[in-house]
Amino acid sequence: MNASRTSARTYKVVVSRLLPAWPSLTNHDLKSHRRISQAASIHKLRQPPESQTAPRTAYYHKFFHKPNTVVTMSTRSGDRVPIESQRVDAPLTRSATFLVVTITDAPDAVDVVRSTLSAIDNLAKNVSIRDLGAAFACTVGIGSEAWDRVTRMPRPAELHPFPVVHGQKHTAVSTPGDLLFHIRSERRDFCFEFERQLLDTLGDAVSVVDETNGFRYFDVRDLLGFVDGTANPVGPAVPASILVTGEDTAAVGGSYVVVQKYVHNINAWNKLSAEKQEAIIGRKKIDNVELENAAAGHQQSHKSLATIQDKDGEVHEILRDNMPFGSPGSDQFGTYFIGYSRRLWVIERMLQRMFIGNPPGLHDRLLDFSAPLTGTTFFAPSADVLKKLGTASSA
């Protein structure tokens, strides 16, 4: 009896490092490995499961292994070349840091950047090894103006600077950014320590444009009080939505990334009734139930305007890793939008529908309470591309 209790307690300690939602499990669950595995699967809905039904893509997502995705492309000879992606589909975490920098004019700046990016995995290990249950990840994006001099490789077909979107009332601004570091962890101190070591390594090769520290707010809600990210793809749909495949051989295994930093007029928003807020968002505030779409030609909700269909009626999903940020003492309340997509045009069309309207003139009413301070586009290349950056200098 005592040995059994000790074993159960030990099992609970081990699994609790993997499942932040451990308190929802009972002692009875400890006796059932199947239930433990089920809970783990629910926690990792964001990650594609192992599958033998997708011959062109292989996944390996284990708790104590890097949950990267391996994308394979066929060569003319028929051989399949494995390409390791970055962790663009890492799980949602309690903390995140969004760091955007530009490359300076220092003589060795590009060499330092290339060397740092090529060894980014080693830098991440310095931090992640201290707690394997902290779900640490860092995704690197490279901006359009920096791509050629940093990579000296063919450009992804859709990569270009963030386009300004002018609506009748609101504007999506475009701001500088050569490199994006999307740093995530269950522990805030991990994000802090990695950023410290990263900036120490980069030194005067870069200049910080924006640094935003995000946090998970209750049950994945934004500071407006609504659940954020409901429309995200899950399971096998994640890599299909965010990773470039054979349609662009220069970009295979990578993902387009768009970031915008929104600040909210929280006082004006809170003066609205719950019903008016729900009409703007397109979902119920308490239970997150989706509302019916408005008829064509009428004012559309944020949910409807952010849903993108092609001419054949196919819906194209993106992966949002949005995070609230702010400081009540400074009267700052915001949402950091970050979207990953296999196709950049999907996010750009989404922004056009929000700021210009569909039909034009009927913009997203959420923008009456949320203003974008930044707007930058990046491409997160495969991990294999990053590793190759340290093989040659810029001389």
Q: Which helix (H) or strand (E) holds 123?
A: helix 120-128
Catalytic residue check, 111: no
User: Measured between alpha carbons, how far is residue 195 from residues 99, 124, 185, 311, 339 in Å?
Assistant: 8, 10, 12, 43, 21
Strands 69-74, 80-84: pairing kind: antiparallel
Q: Do the beta carbons of residue 231 and residue 316 sit within 8 Å?
A: no
Other beta carbons less than 10 A from residue 327's beta carbon: 9
Rounded Cα–Cα distance for residues 341 and 382 (Å) = 14
- Set 89, 178, 228, 384: catalytic member: 228
User: Running DSSP on this structure, what letter comes out for residue 290?
Assistant: B
Looking at the chain, which runs of residues are DSSP E strands?
57-59, 69-74, 80-84, 95-103, 137-143, 165-166, 171-172, 179-185, 206-215, 255-264, 308-309, 315-316, 319-320, 323-327, 332-341, 370-372, 376-380
Instruction: Please state whether beta strands 323-327 and 206-215 pair in parallel, antiparallel, or not at all (unpaired).
Output: unpaired
Q: What is the DSSP letter of 278?
A: H
Which residues carry out catalysis? Answer: 228
